[in-house]
Structures are given as C-alpha cells and as structure tokens.
Amino acid sequence: MATIGNSTNIFWHESPVGKAERQKLLNQQGCVVWITGLSGSGKSTLAYSLNRELHTRGKLSYVLDGDNLRHGLNKNLGFAAEDRTENIRRVGEVAKLFADAGLICIASLISPYGKDRDACRALMPDKSFIEVFMNMPLEICEGRDPKGLYKLARAGKIKGFTGIDDPYEPPLSCEIEIKQKDGICPTPPEMTTEVATYLEDSGFLQA
C-alpha cells in the first residue's frame, strides 16, 4: 500500500537539454556567488551592484536575497539555529538549480554558520561555488545599522542576533574577501569590479 509522503516513490528525470547546451545558449557558465557577512556589511549592496554590472555585460544573473526569500520561500522559518540551517539549505538547493540552468546566481545572506555554507558548497562539486566574505568589523556594521536591528538587539528586543548574542563563523577558505584597506571601506564599484574580474578570469563569463 502506498504511503503519502513516501520519498521512495519519486524518481529523477533527466532533461533532454543539458547544462552545456544551456550555457552555450547564454554564452556563460552557471555558478553561485555566495555573499556572506554580518548585517550591514554590504552584502545586498554588492549583490545588486554585481547584478547590474553583469547585466551591462550581457550576462544573465539573478539575486537570491535573504530578506526577500523570507517573504516567500522561507516565510515559515524563524531565526533559531535549526531554522537558520534550513533557511540556508533551501537557498543552496535553489541556487544550485539556477546554476544548472546556466545563470550566475548571486546569493546574499548572513549565513552565519560554516557548516551550512560548506553544505551548500558541497552541492556544487565542479568548483562553481564562489564564496565572498564581507569582512567588515562589527563596529562598522553596527554604525551603519541600516535596518535599526543592532539597536534593537542591544536593547534586548531581538534575541539571537548575529554578531551580538549569536555567533558569526568567518569563512576559513573563501574565494574572495572584501575588507577595509588602510581603514577605508571599498566602494560598491570597487567591490563589484573585484568580483566581476574574478568571474571573468575564472572563465564564467563565456561558455
């Protein structure tokens, strides 16, 4: 007798159009640019600036923004550790599909736990997972506080806030690290150029 929800009765179907054919059509190689860092570190700024730069170059990309996804795909998740893990797992699976379609997927999420980011990287064994660490000091991020969340966390009105009473685990071997130079934060165009140059040099902007 069949059981509802029994995953043993589902099967993988291969598409008659392969990844290489999709990439040739788009003249680019699918990949995931995973931008991680504290709230206020500039993740979304970089994500959308890079999105615009790639569009200008005639490349197809799409931004998976952590806040936006919590309005839909992940709206049933909170911010407990297990919910954060499931949040990242879902985004990783969606990002993998975008990359398989031949797009340059730009994922912008705090993604505070190393094991969760590593699990997303493991979904893409062909080295098309590019981790970008927004390595900005807490005092810089808190000083920006664009959403007023640090203020609420310091006042005890938000519990489990990354960087205040919940940890952020920095990447140990990211592909790109964005940080201050001589005490000055890079501008959005500078950050965008650094990531776009990496993609170009690595061959992702051609089939």
Q: Does 10 reside within a domain?
A: no
CATH code of the domain in which 165 resides = 3.40.50.300
pLDDT at residue 5 tops 70: no
- pLDDT above 70 (res 9): yes
Percent of the chain with pLDDT over 70: 97
Cα–Cα dist 89/129, whole Å: 14
Does residue 1 carry a pLDDT above 60?
Answer: no
Domains: count for the chain: 1
pTM for the structure as a whole: 0.93
Question: What mean pLDDT is predicted for residues 90-116?
Answer: 97
The pLDDT assigned to 8 comes to 77
Q: Would residue 6 count as lying in a domain?
A: no
Q: Is residue 188 part of a domain?
A: yes
Classify residue 2: in a domain, yes or no: no
125-155 residue pLDDT tens: 889 999 999 999 999 999 999 899 999 999 9
Local confidence band at 185 (pLDDT 50, 70, 90 cut-offs): very high
CA 150 vs CA 82, 92, 143, 168, 173: distances in Å:
22, 27, 9, 14, 28
Catalytic residue flag (residue 44): no
Band of residue 6 on the pLDDT scale cut at 50, 70, 90: low
Give the domain range for residue 55: 18-201
- Is 72 among the domain residues? yes
Of 111, 128, 173, 202, the catalytic one is 111
For residue 207, is it within any domain?
Answer: no
Nearest to 128 by CA among 21, 203, 48: 203
Residue 3 has pLDDT above 70, yes or no: no
